[in-house]
Chains A and B, each alone.
Chain A
């Protein structure tokens, strides 16, 4: 984000804050005098709408800014879960460990599994890692073929360099073995 955008963000934030703080005072004055004519009321509505839109824009900018600050690109690690077909595996949860430390344990609802099967990708973890070697282990639980409880782990050694690291945990079907397959791979 450029300095100019920061400046715009800051100024609009302060202006909006000032505007919101002033609203009750303005409202009190109106009550004390008389109800505004319909045309003025319409104008206030449109102003409120503009204000709402600006707040939403600001919120979006802040979200991006927060991510940039909390997870700078040179230490950032993001792990995603994706699913392909899913005939042999009904996903229940994924537990993620980095360097033997649990970092995420996510339970998937039916709706979330359906979204994954439609091609969705879920970011299960976003964090920071120092440069160097790290071990990433994912444990998948669910129901396998013949609705048997199924638990399988997959491990990947990752070399964290300078720049963000993206890892995908992919669940797919292995038709030849009639079994699910769990892959952990790095995005280039």
Chain B
């Protein structure tokens, strides 16, 4: 009886909160999985500590050609919106540390290194690049796989919309 009540309560709460039972844990509307990773300087940084800012998570690797182009576009986006509370976080998933440290020196972006690809797994990375927009409340809002010409304008529009909320 108690279990039945519990189950019914949980279901009711899911309805109340509008939580859809989704197959994916990284989908618009769901909380972005929290993680901590090291930056090039060796400091640990945690996603949940940026609550209040709009965070653009971009997963990339050295072997991905289009990722380099996208990182340059994201750098521009970061420059444009930095004053308004946007953080672009480039998560490198190469095993070795060199690509991440080189990118950190070259780009004006926050570069984190996911050497064990544990965060990539949590974000269900299946192709590169993967870009996830996380709103100021820590929820996933947009998920973009791959990168095509014209996506920079779309990203800019989406960021502007998130900042206006």
Asked if A50 lies at the interface with its beta carbon under 8 angstroms from chain B, I say no
Asked if B38 lies at the interface with its beta carbon under 8 angstroms from chain A, I say yes
Asked if B18 lies at the interface with its beta carbon under 8 angstroms from chain A, I say yes
Q: Which residues of B contact A110 (CB under 8 A)?
A: 43-44
Q: Which residues of B contact A16 (CB under 8 A)?
A: 12, 16
Q: Interface residues of B: mostly helix, strand, loop or mixed?
A: helix
Total count of chain B residues near the partner, CB < 8 A: 20
Asked if A158 lies at the interface with its beta carbon under 8 angstroms from chain B, I say no
B13 touches A62 (CB 8 A): yes
Closest to A14 in B: B12
Q: Which residues of A contact B44 (CB under 8 A)?
A: 92-93, 107-110
Which of A7, A21, A59, A109 contacts B46, CB < 8 Å? A109
Closest to A16 in B: B16
B13 touches A58 (CB 8 A): yes
Q: Which residues of A contact B17 (CB under 8 A)?
A: 55, 59
Total count of chain A residues near the partner, CB < 8 A: 27
Assuming the contacts A109-B36, A109-B46, asked whether A69 and B12 have C-beta atoms less than 8 A apart, the reply is no
Asked if A111 lies at the interface with its beta carbon under 8 angstroms from chain B, I say yes
A69 touches B38 (CB 8 A): no
Q: Which residues of A from 8 to 65 have beta carbons under 8 Å from B?
A: 9-10, 13-14, 16-17, 20-21, 55, 58-59, 62, 65
Q: Which residues of B contact A7 (CB under 8 A)?
A: 5
Closest to A105 in B: B118
Q: How far is the CB of B89 from chain A (nearest CB, A)?
A: 14
Asked if B2 lies at the interface with its beta carbon under 8 angstroms from chain A, I say yes
Q: How far is the CB of A27 from chain B (nearest CB, A)?
A: 15
Asked if A166 lies at the interface with its beta carbon under 8 angstroms from chain B, I say no
A11 to B10, CA, bound (A): 12
Closest to A19 in B: B16
B8 touches A10 (CB 8 A): yes
Given A3-B5, A17-B12, A110-B44, 10 other A-B contacts at CB below 8 A? A10-B5, A17-B16, A55-B17, A59-B13, A59-B17, A65-B9, A93-B44, A106-B36, A107-B36, A108-B44
Pull 19 A–B residue pairs with CB atoms less than 8 Å apart, ordered by A: A3-B5, A6-B2, A6-B6, A10-B9, A10-B12, A17-B12, A20-B16, A59-B17, A62-B9, A65-B9, A92-B44, A93-B44, A107-B37, A107-B38, A107-B44, A108-B36, A109-B36, A110-B43, A111-B49
